[in-house]
């Protein structure tokens, strides 16, 4: 299959693993060039990964007829305007999470893409990896019976101790729900289907954060917190399953699992959905006492960020639906904003959007192949 040519916007922290995988792992993708507001970052990445062009600007990249997909790896605040600019230029776009800081802006992107016949796909793509695909097979093959409930926990004390530029995590489009919620919600939707209604509670436990790493001479810098940093949500899935999720940047220590799914016959413990593999554990009430490690049944157990782009590239060449598609991305944004709205209004709110469970990955693939 002819390679799909890619341009990357944003050469910051996360760009390294994308460039590594898009250039060296997936057989369908090729990165022609990158751009960043900070030109030295492009030069540094070009020196390391050897892509052909260091574009001086996004405009210059968009004028390059070779580029088919633009991958947006900027801070969340800029995702929307860049996605719109890329679509207006007639190119497909793959955007890091979240798609948008709210439904309104997400819907504008969705409508523009539809009107132009272009694809918008996006992160996370960890749900296409070996662990979560294995968990999906376990559920669909009936190992835990009918899923009735799910509990999800993303608890940490934020990003200022490790991220070189952590400010955006505390601005609109950031916060633990918009930053980390997409991993958990996408995983749960992939395993249980779409969400019909939500309730929520939110808090800002610390109005100010202090940077405590030395990566960019920002040690001691204060960050004003503009968004809730502790969010508890309840989800009623269309299937009838009931779920809870806590995402927090306010918790120092905890001992709760990432995601557990409870079925009529047993329980499944899902590993960290921020990664492509980890221990997936099963407990079947009538067969197994204690947790049993489930062997991986799918490819892409290593850090395969960009797998969703390879999947999108195959979709472009074959005409099939991409897995990390706009309906899924928008449904996740709808749910995340729904928790915040429900908390503000003190009500259970319907989720008006829906999506299909993405098709499962193929079990047998050649190295670097996606089908
Ligand atoms: N860092 C991580 O561990 C991580 C993990 C998963 C996902 N993400 C997501 O990836 C995205 C980027 O995160 P990051 O940590 O790499 O951020 P970062 O701040 O390290 O890098 C972002 C880069 O985008 C550039 N940029 C901003 N606006 C631009 C524009 N208009 N044109 C060109 N370049 C522009 C900035 O100059 C910067 O170099 C975010 O959406 C984040 O949620 C990050």
* 54-80 core/surface letters (b: 16 or more CB in 10 A; e: else): bbeebeebbeeeebbbbbbbbbbebbb
Q: Find out whether the beta carbon of 14 lies less than 6 Å from any atom of ligand 1.
A: yes
Phi-psi sector, 361: left (phi>0), alpha (psi -120 to 50), beta: beta
> Do residues 86 and 62 touch, judged by C-beta distance below 8 A?
yes
User: How far is ligand 1, taken at its centre, from the CA of residue 163, in Å?
Assistant: 11
At 11, is the pLDDT very low, low, confident or very high (cuts 50, 70, 90)? very high
The rounded distance, in Å, linking the Cα atoms of 229 and 51 is 38
pLDDT beyond 90 at 173: no
Please write the tens of the pLDDT for every residue from 304-363: 999 999 999 999 999 999 999 999 999 999 999 999 999 999 999 999 999 999 999 999
With the most atoms of ligand 1 within 8 angstroms of its CB, the residue from 9, 18, 33, 36 to mutate is 36
Torsion of CA 71, 45, 168, 339, to 10 degrees: 40
Phi, psi dihedral angles at 62 (to 5 degrees): -70, -20
Q: Find out whether the beta carbon of 102 lies less than 6 Å from any atom of ligand 1.
A: no
Ligand 1 atom nearest residue 78's Cα: 28
Q: Find out whether the beta carbon of 149 lies less than 6 Å from any atom of ligand 1.
A: no
Quote the pLDDT of residue 287: 80
User: How far is ligand 1, taken at its centre, from the CA of residue 290, in Å?
Assistant: 42
Quote the pLDDT of residue 369: 97
Q: Find out whether the beta carbon of 162 lies less than 6 Å from any atom of ligand 1.
A: no
At 281, is the pLDDT very low, low, confident or very high (cuts 50, 70, 90)? confident
CATH 3.30.360.10 for the 128-293 domain, yes or no: yes
pLDDT beyond 80 at 286: no
User: How far is ligand 1, taken at its centre, from the CA of residue 214, in Å?
Assistant: 18
At 290, is the pLDDT very low, low, confident or very high (cuts 50, 70, 90)? confident
The rounded distance, in Å, linking the Cα atoms of 183 and 125 is 8
Q: Find out whether the beta carbon of 13 lies less than 6 Å from any atom of ligand 1.
A: yes
Angle between helices 175-192 and 326-345 (to 10 degrees): 120
Tokens of 239: 């299937």
Segments making up each domain of the chain, as ranges: 4-126+304-324, 128-293
> Do residues 348 and 242 touch, judged by C-beta distance below 8 A?
no
Please write the tens of the pLDDT for every residue from 18-47: 999 999 999 999 999 999 999 999 999 999
User: How far is ligand 1, taken at its centre, from the CA of residue 305, in Å?
Assistant: 14
pLDDT beyond 90 at 274: yes
Place of tokens 């926990």: 153
The rounded distance, in Å, linking the Cα atoms of 353 and 68 is 28
> Do residues 355 and 296 touch, judged by C-beta distance below 8 A?
no
Assign 268 to helix, strand or coil: strand
pLDDT beyond 80 at 117: yes
Assign 188 to helix, strand or coil: helix
* 237-254 core/surface letters (b: 16 or more CB in 10 A; e: else): beeebebebbbbbbbeee
Tokens of 135: 């968990």
User: How far is ligand 1, taken at its centre, from the CA of residue 9, in Å?
Assistant: 9
Please write the tens of the pLDDT for every residue from 177-224: 999 999 999 999 999 999 999 999 999 999 999 999 999 899 999 999
- CATH annotation of 4-126+304-324: 3.40.50.720
The rounded distance, in Å, linking the Cα atoms of 128 and 108 is 26
Report the greatest alpha carbon distance in the chain. Answer: 62
Protein residue closest via CA to atom 2 of ligand 1 = 14
Determine the average pLDDT of the residues in 3-8.
98
Q: Within 50-174, where are the H helices?
A: 58-62, 79-88, 103-116, 130-140
The rounded distance, in Å, linking the Cα atoms of 21 and 54 is 19
At 280, is the pLDDT very low, low, confident or very high (cuts 50, 70, 90)? confident
> Do residues 76 and 101 touch, judged by C-beta distance below 8 A?
yes
Report the predicted TM-score, pTM, of the whole model to 2 decimal places: 0.96
Q: Find out whether the beta carbon of 96 lies less than 6 Å from any atom of ligand 1.
A: yes
User: How far is ligand 1, taken at its centre, from the CA of residue 121, in Å?
Assistant: 17
């Amino acid at each position: 299959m002819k390679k799909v040519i890619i341009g990357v916007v944003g050469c910051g922290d996360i760009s390294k693993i994308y460039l590594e995988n898009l250039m060296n792992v997936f057989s369908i993708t090729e990165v022609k060039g990158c751009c960043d507001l900070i030109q030295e970052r492009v030069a540094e990445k070009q020196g390391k990964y050897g892509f052909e062009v260091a574009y001086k600007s996004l405009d210059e990249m968009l004028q390059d007829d070779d580029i088919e997909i633009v991958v947006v790896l900027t801070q969340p605040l800029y995702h929307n305007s860049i996605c719109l600019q890329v679509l207006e230029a007639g190119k497909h776009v793959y955007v890091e999470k979240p798609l948008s800081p709210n439904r309104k802006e997400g819907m504008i992107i969705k409508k523009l893409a539809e009107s132009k016949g272009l694809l918008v796909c996006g992160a996370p793509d960890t749900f296409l990896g070996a662990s979560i695909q294995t968990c999906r097979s376990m559920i669909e093959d009936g190992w835990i019976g009918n899923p009735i409930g799910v509990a999800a926990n993303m608890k940490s004390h934020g990003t200022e101790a490790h991220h070189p530029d952590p400010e955006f995590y505390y601005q609109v489009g950031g916060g633990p729900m918009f930053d980390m919620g997409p991993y958990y919600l996408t995983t749960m939707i992939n395993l249980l289907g779409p969400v019909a209604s939500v309730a929520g509670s939110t808090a800002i436990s610390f109005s100010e954060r202090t940077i405590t790493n030395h990566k960019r001479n920002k040690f001691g810098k204060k960050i004003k917190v503009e968004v809730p940093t502790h969010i508890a949500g309840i989800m009623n899935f269309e299937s009838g399953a009931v779920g809870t999720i806590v995402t927090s940047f306010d918790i120092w220590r905890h001992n709760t699992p990432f995601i557990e799914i409870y079925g009529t016959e047993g329980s499944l413990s899902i590993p960290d959905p921020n990664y492509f593999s980890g221990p997936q554990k099963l407990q079947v009430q009538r067969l197994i006492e204690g947790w049993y490690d489930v062997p991986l049944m799918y490819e892409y157990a290593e850090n395969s960020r960009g797998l969703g782009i390879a999947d999108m590239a195959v979709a472009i060449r074959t005409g099939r639906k991409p897995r990390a598609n706009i309906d899924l991305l928008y449904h996740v944004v709808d749910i995340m904003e729904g928790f915040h709205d429900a908390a503000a209004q003190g009500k259970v709110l319907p989720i008006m959007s829906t999506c299909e469970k993405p098709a499962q990955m193929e079990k047998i693939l050649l190295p670097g192949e996606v089908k």
